[in-house]
Structure 1
Amino acid sequence: MLRRIEPSDVELGMFIHKLEGSWFSHPFWKRRFVLEDPSDLAALRCSSVAGVVIDDTLGATSRMPDAAASATSPAPAQLAAHEAPLHRNVPSARTGFARAASKDAGGPPPIAREFGAARKIADRSRRHISQAFLKARLGKGVAVGDVEPVVEEIYGTVQRNPYAFSGLLRCQRDKEETYRHALSVCALMIALARRMRLSHTETCEAGMAGLLMDVGVGQLPESLASVEGDYRSLRQQLLDQHVLFGHDMLCVAGDIPEAVLAVSRNHHERMDGSGYPQGLRGEEIDLLSRMAAICDEFDYLVSGGFERPPLDPAAAIEALVAESGTFDPDILRTFIESVGVYPIGAFVRLRSERLAMVVDIDPDDHALPVVRTFHSLASGKPVRGETIRLAQCWGADAIEGIADLTDIAMPASAALQERLLKAACRS
């Protein structure tokens, strides 16, 4: 039975079915869960949540008298009208929930399963973010509610596996580059924020900033068709304008957090003062904008653009490191930890004279990822694919460097990445 109670009446053991209000008003990324931690209980009671809906069939029963509970319990139609649009399925019994929770408690899920979930989330998220960007192009304000479901789902997949979602998007190229870039930077920002141990609210704001920081591109008074959608190839005056347009547009909504507004204005600023639009330096740039500068530039490098071929993800890491003084060095080190020295999608040369692609990251050693072989340098021919966990092969093979595919007859790198990723998921 669903009951609506006040936050002050919540007790340990209750199954939280719904927290009323935006997730900026409470400290939890998930919507439905058993409340078991005393610190979570204290945080919930002190939050600005308007009300809490509990499910007595899945958790402890409220001590409210039945008559009072009935009076405050929302009608099914009311619940349906206020449900968030992208909820996960919840087991129908408390024991089922406990089994599901214990199954996921042993570490990140297998990469094949998480890539499958990431594909579904990416498809749903594209629809939401495309609608938000369409509103922006029409001159309408973009509100928190327009993108909240996207951030929530990406937060969930990053919570389960920090590498899968952004890695999948690096291996999937499509014509909706603006949306793909927004989703990818969102995932990178959330993974980086979690690695930096930022608070729940800061992590949510980081993800939202990644989604919305380029929303002003749609307002530029020039078609992007001539530069294949690569707005960075436009003249500097237009680059300045896209930042200002985006910031003004998000201000119109009225409920976008100040930290997200700051990122929309400052994500092209650089530590040495070489950025735009204000030429800020060092600590003058807010924390989330320093993070966004790195996440945005990394995805920009690996995506390619107008007369600019994409870089291998590992080469993009090297390029970021080479720009000494441009990015915050402490945040850059943490970013590399969050994506791996050899990120998913990177092509590497192995000691066994085989070429392989990185398909997963070992959370305990970012320099020893999981790879999928596809070519022999010795024979000059393709080889039967093998998935190798370098951290667990006891030195039988190792990465010697980034692979050079220039003189090898291969499909385009994007097509090869997607093919190898699918093969690794099937193995």
Structure 2
Amino acid sequence: MLKRIDIADLELGMFVHKLEGSWFKHPFWRSKFVLDDQDTLDELQASEVPAVIIDTERGIDLRPTRIERVTQAAANGGVAVQEPPLRRGLRTQRVAAAPRSEDVALTSTVPLSQAREFGHANRVVDRSRKVISKVFLEARLGKTIRAETIEPVVEEIFASVQRNPHAFNGLMRCKRDLEYVYRHALAVSALMVSLGRQMKLSPADQRLAGMAGLMLDMGVSYLPVDLESTGGDFRRIDERIFREHARLGHDQLLASGVPEPVALACLEHHERIDGTGYPHGLTGERISLFGRMAAICDTYDWLVNDAQDQMGLDPSAAMQQLTLLDGAFDRDLLASFIDALGVYPIGSVVELASGRLALVVSQDEADPAKPRVKTFYSLTERRIVPTTEILLARCYGEDRIIAAANPDALGGIDFPAIREKLFASA
């Protein structure tokens, strides 16, 4: 049975089913857990959580007040009602044995293979699309942005990256059914979490980074333009007007009570280390950490994301482009970003020594320069060929990558469709 109680009535042995209020107001990222240590109890009662939902089937119930005990004793002929004991060991055992729901599975951080995580990531994207589209629409209508609305999206993206650091970003390379604005928001959120993970930021900061990535372009909703005329791709907006989105988004996020580091990232994601960015032309570490991270993640996804009339850059070519923009990005953060995604990020097309083109479908953690690839085109025969999967780190030199390749140069083939098919079978 679920029961709402005041935070002051929380006791050891209770099973917390839900913490009310925003998860930015408390230090607990688990939404369901047995309360079994005093430090956690003290920290919770000192937080800004107004109330909690407890599950009396999985933990102890709220103790009756003295008046309730006297009343109940009178009704029982003067026999006092004993308070229930704390059965922590029993309750903990029952919680561990309880089956997990679909929602719990999507917030689990237990590592999974990339193949298994693709399925989970696809569910996260489908669920997130509805939330993000609603948030952007309400912003367009002038409504306040509520952090609680997007917290579940951030949590599930964070969990997906923890389960497998490459699956979500790989999936976003072939999600052509999403409008650009939503595809970009989800992709940058996952990239921010991946970069934060590589930098060994705390889980709390990784989640904040993920929220920042999700909200970077919220200001686009407040621009005085007809967004439908852009076909859902705000890269078509006049540059002079578009530049205002950073300031507008920052101001609205702050007014909505979104954490300041998230709002600041929104303001600064177009700033550049050398001072050539906007809106304030900040330099170096005058740009916040999340702002410097966002500049890299936002630009990378901007480069690789397909537009209506053309394909985005190949991921490995986009990486090279970032490194060529000397002075624009924080060098240490850029190095961490490359380490997080790999020398040849998932979705890259590479030329093999055997004269074939192949798509990178997963990374080898032990040797990032030798990913798992799937061949699809013969350069010597100039035609599409049956797919062969190659684990370059374990093929003992039978084949190797000799260069990044540009599928646009092939002509006459529907590469986006091929890419989607290869990912689906990965």
Pairs within 5 Å for 1:314-353: 314-353=316-355
Deviates more, 1:327-336 or 1:408-417: 408-417
Aligned to 2:187: 184
Distance 1:184 1:277 in 2: 23
Contact 2:109–2:160 under 8 Å retained in 1: no
Q: Which amino acid aligns with 2:273?
A: M
Aligned to 1:110: 113
TM-score for the superposition, normalised by structure 1: 0.82
Aligned to 2:386: 384
Identity of aligned residues (%): 46
RMSD: 3.3
Distance 1:387 1:45 in 2: 54
Structure 1 residues 364 and 9: alpha-carbon distance in aligned structure 2, compared to 1, 3 A threshold: farther
Q: Which amino acid aligns with 1:422?
A: A
The alpha-carbon deviation at position 151 of structure 1 amounts to 0.9
Pairs within 5 Å for 1:122-137: 122-137=125-140
Aligned to 1:85: none
Structure 1 residues 282 and 37: alpha-carbon distance in aligned structure 2, compared to 1, 3 A threshold: farther
The alpha-carbon deviation at position 307 of structure 1 amounts to 6.8
The alpha-carbon deviation at position 94 of structure 1 amounts to 2.9
1:157 to 157, 160, 166: 160
Structure 1 residues 285 and 237: alpha-carbon distance in aligned structure 2, compared to 1, 3 A threshold: same
Contact 2:188–2:213 under 8 Å retained in 1: yes
SS in 2 for 1:221: coil
Contact 2:253–2:263 under 8 Å retained in 1: yes
Deviates more, 1:305-314 or 1:109-118: 305-314
Aligned to 1:274: 276
1:21 aligns with 2:14: no
Deviates more, 1:107-116 or 1:159-168: 107-116
Deviates more, 1:13-22 or 1:355-364: 13-22
Structure 1 residues 306 and 284: alpha-carbon distance in aligned structure 2, compared to 1, 3 A threshold: farther
Distance 1:134 1:394 in 2: 53
Distance 2:44 2:64 in 1: 25
Deviates more, 1:144-153 or 1:274-283: 144-153
Distance 1:228 1:243 in 2: 21
SS in 2 for 1:400: strand
Distance 1:212 1:105 in 2: 23
Q: Which structure 1 segments of 5+ residues have no match?
A: 72-90
Distance 2:393 2:308 in 1: 38
Q: Which amino acid aligns with 1:120?
A: R
1:171 aligns with 2:165: no
SS in 2 for 1:394: coil
Aligned to 2:88: none
Aligned to 1:413: 415
Contact 2:361–2:423 under 8 Å retained in 1: yes
Distance 1:42 1:387 in 2: 54
TM-score for the superposition, normalised by structure 2: 0.82
The alpha-carbon deviation at position 215 of structure 1 amounts to 1.1
1:193 to 190, 196, 211: 196
Distance 1:51 1:184 in 2: 34
Q: Which amino acid aligns with 1:210?
A: G
Contact 1:7–1:49 under 8 Å retained in 2: no
Distance 1:307 1:300 in 2: 15
Distance 1:161 1:171 in 2: 17
Distance 1:390 1:176 in 2: 35
Distance 1:391 1:376 in 2: 21
The alpha-carbon deviation at position 32 of structure 1 amounts to 2.7
Distance 1:35 1:289 in 2: 37
Pairs within 5 Å for 1:20-419: 20-33=20-33, 47-55=47-55, 61-62=59-60, 67=64, 94-95=96-97, 108-174=111-177, 176-224=179-227, 228-253=231-256, 255-305=257-307, 309-408=311-410, 411-419=413-421
Contact 1:220–1:241 under 8 Å retained in 2: yes
